Chains A and B, each alone.
Chain A
Amino acid sequence: MTQEDLVPPELKRNVLIAPVDWIYNIGRAGSVWPIMFGLACCAFEMIVTLTSRFDLSRFGMEFMRASPRQSELMIVSGTVTKKMAPQVVRLYDQMPEPKYVMAMGACAISGGPFKDGYNVVPGIDKYLPVDVYVPGCPPRPESLLDGAIKLHQKIRSETILTSPWYRKGVDRELPVPECGPWGLVLPKGEESE
């Protein structure tokens, strides 16, 4: 380990950029609005998390937006069937940057108990870049709150110098899978499963 590695990454940043990052990230972390959709039984735990007993609004997530244009976070709450995966990916594409994905529950993470099913996507991370995995079957609301804290930590550690949504020419739109005869296929020109 050289002497350079001992310097914490926060100090390596530009002196001007660090306070801007601090304010920018606090503002972003304090208003992460999830898009309103629930896929399976995990959605009920998500609804419970929004109620006053657990109170997700403490983390700035009280508004479940009914439109992807106003939301930053996609909580994939439950089993993603192959019928539903194109819609989920298209909704993700329609969200403005910066956007985050939280895979909630065993099904969204890996397919869970339905992993071998003919109609279940074995993990939404095959199609979406997942930021936070919240394990459980279904996860308790406390787990979802822990996922929210983890997402806040991730957002606060980001800097606008390396953020991909301010770079030009980076195509971040993900290919939307289509229902083929033997399951989901990606459109032509994209890499297949």
Chain B
Amino acid sequence: MTDYALIGLLMVVAAIFPLIAMFLGFILRPRKPAPVKKSTYECGLETVGETWVRFRAQYYIYALIFVIFDVETVFLYPWAVAYNQLGLFALVQMFIFLMILLGGLVYAWQKGALEWV
């Protein structure tokens, strides 16, 4: 029980400590708001146009397909390192695993996910 009490004490201190630091900063910091200072930092240049522009969200499909190759790499590397000990059984298994991932890629390709619309 005392172990959990220590964790609770840690949480209380962790909550109070930044609050004290932020309060000290609040009373100590100089306040000099000015138009140029409050403007958007753009490497010293004045901003042109709207800051809140919409970005095309199409990129997420590429990010999803990237996960295929990412997972593939994560499993291929340890398998390649331990290839001599694992033998033929692991080779066949890895082949099946790659086929499953390849099936996913072929499916995404057929659905037109690799086309930039």
Contact = CB atoms under 8 A, between A and B. Distances in A.
Interface of A: 67-69, 86-88, 90-91, 93-98, 165-166, 171-173, 176
Contacts of B34: 93, 171-173
Interface of B: 29-30, 32, 34-37, 39, 41, 43-46
Contacts of A172: 32, 34
Given A68-B41, A88-B44, A165-B30, 8 more contacts: A87-B45, A93-B36, A93-B37, A94-B37, A94-B39, A97-B30, A98-B30, A173-B36
The A contact surface, by secondary structure, is helix
Contacts of B43: 87
A147 to B, nearest CB: 23
Contacts of A171: 34
The B contact surface, by secondary structure, is loop
A68 B39 CA distance: 12
A86 B45 CA distance: 8
Contacts of B37: 93-96, 173
Contacts of A86: 44
Contact of B30 (A91, A93, A94, A96): A96
A187 B34 CA distance: 16
A176 B37 CA distance: 12
Given A69-B41, A87-B43, A94 B32 contact: no
